[in-house]
Amino acid sequence: RRSNDILRQASAYFAKAEFDRLWKNNATAG
């Protein structure tokens, strides 16, 4: 069962995407 590994990779990917989105929003706003 590799569901845990897949979940961990997915959460890390989404966290990075969210971070990049917030970073871009701050860069354009500031």
What is d(CA 28, CA 15) in angstroms, rounded to the nearest whole number? 20
Q: Domain residues of the chain, as ranges? A: 1-30
Average pLDDT over residues 12-23: 95
Phi, psi of 19 (to 5 degrees): -60, -45
Question: Residue 27: pLDDT above 90?
Answer: no
Residues in the chain: 30
Q: Residue 7: what pLDDT?
A: 96
Distances, alpha carbon 30 to alpha carbons 14, 23, 24, 25, in Å: 24, 10, 10, 8
Question: C-alpha 5: how far from its chain's center?
Answer: 16
Question: Residue 30: pLDDT above 90?
Answer: no
Average pLDDT over residues 3-13: 97
Question: C-alpha 3: how far from its chain's center?
Answer: 19
Q: Residue 13: what pLDDT?
A: 98
Q: Residue 2: what pLDDT?
A: 86
